[in-house]
A = this chain, B = another copy of it.
Amino acid sequence: MTRPLGVAVVGFGWMGHAHTRAYLRVRHQYPDLPIVPHLVTVADPEPGRAEAAAAQYGFATAATDWRDVLADPRVEAVSVTAPNFLHREIGAAVAESGRHLWIEKPVGLTGDDARRVAGAATTAGVRSTVGFNYRAAPAVAEARALIAGGAIGRVTNARFRFFSDYAAHPDGALSWRFTRSHGGSGVLGDLASHAVDLARHLLGDIEALVADTTTVIPSRPTVTGAASHFSRADGPPGPVENEDHVHALLRFAGGARGVLEASRVAVGEQNTYGFEVHGTTGALAWDFRRMGELSVSTGADYQSQSYRTVFAGPGQGDFGAFQPGAGIAMSYDDTKVIEAAGFLRSIADDTPYGPTLDDAVAAAVVLDAMLDSVRTGAWVSL
């Protein structure tokens, strides 16, 4: 009734853990899944890390070189959770080797990178899922369902915001994350990509935008040796090459207008990720920090409407696979389990499910357009 699927994980930072835990949990939360993942192998170039992962989670083997993963015939699907600048090369190779691909966002550093990987997947005929996990939160699923069902009328305007303080301290080390070659466009790929995906997921295609960016902390202390990009350093200062903050005005194909903002240096904001959508007869708002809550304004008298706070529960998105009653907390990791379930189901049914490489390309194109807009100082059509 179920068939096993050999899976591998490439890159073992936070997301490597998250994907692995999702593989381990997915059949416990979704007992009806026709495919059950088995942990075959894991790769990470940092000495000892892959072995530790194997010991912790039960991968059969471990490697330092991701190419060894592709050489293993037991591997049928691969999670690519390596640093973003490696996504193009690894992602394309995974697809070309005929493996299904669960890849973290952003898929590479540019739209071209994303297209390269997406093209490889299409050519190879493999399934893909991209780690736009905020879609998976039941309250977000409910927001999408409400919008699609007309509960707030025609969407008129919206705001999407992803603010974090992870790089807010000026003594934070000048890691690869702050270089153009390895960290790409900084906050755009890291956080704005999520905002763009949610915008598209809820409101559809963006047809034009104008953007502005800033590098709030232009130089940071360098480090000697390997340093975490979150640790503090005190070496001589070196230049930050990419963006700390981006904001943009959006025009959606459906007529709505929007504002999108993302920052990695927003003091006071640990994970202020969310949106607010207004329509002609109602409104919605969501904030990841209160992941299970959706603020909803709908009703007969849509002038003087109030917002109500709805706690997600069974029947909203995939909530029912996790908890029996509204208001019982789900976790960030649960969103990755939902993502894993979608990935496996897409393989089982050979049909796209959830966010795919096409979505990654679409988001990357929007981010590229933001950079274009900054360069030209003008609106850019998509």
- Taking Cβ atoms with an 8 Å cutoff, the residues of A that contact B are 14, 20-21, 24-25, 27-28, 31, 52, 55-57, 152-153, 156-157, 159, 165-166, 168-170, 210-212, 214, 216-217, 245, 247-249, 251, 257, 259, 261, 263, 265-271, 278-283, 288-293, 296-297, 302-311, 313, 322-334, 377-379
Determine whether the beta carbon of B306 is less than 8 Å from that of A268: yes
A257–B56 Cα gap in the complex (Å)? 46
Q: Which residues of B contact A325 (CB under 8 A)?
A: 166, 270-271
A326–B297 Cα gap in the complex (Å)? 15
Q: Which residues of B contact A282 (CB under 8 A)?
A: 267-268
Residue of B nearest to A248 (CB): B249
Q: Of residues A152, A251, A269, A306, which shows the largest number of chain B Cβ atoms within 10 Å of its Cβ?
A: A306
Q: Which residues of B contact A305 (CB under 8 A)?
A: 165, 267-268
Q: Which residues of B contact A291 (CB under 8 A)?
A: 329
Residue of B nearest to A53 (CB): B31
Since A210-B212, A331-B334 are in contact, a sample of 12 more A-B pairs with Cβ atoms closer than 8 Å, ordered by chain A residue number, is A165-B303, A169-B303, A212-B257, A245-B257, A247-B249, A247-B259, A268-B282, A306-B309, A306-B311, A307-B308, A329-B331, A377-B378
Q: Which residues of B contact A52 (CB under 8 A)?
A: 31
A382–B239 Cα gap in the complex (Å)? 30
Q: Which residues of B contact A304 (CB under 8 A)?
A: 165, 270, 313, 326
Q: Which residues of B contact A166 (CB under 8 A)?
A: 303, 325
Q: Which of B152, B157, B308 contacts A247 (CB 8 A)?
A: B157
Known: A248-B249, A332-B328. A280 touches B267 (CB 8 A): yes
Known: A168-B303, A309-B306, A378-B377. A156 touches B216 (CB 8 A): yes
Residue of B nearest to A137 (CB): B329
Q: Which of B296, B302, B329 contacts A330 (CB 8 A)?
A: B329
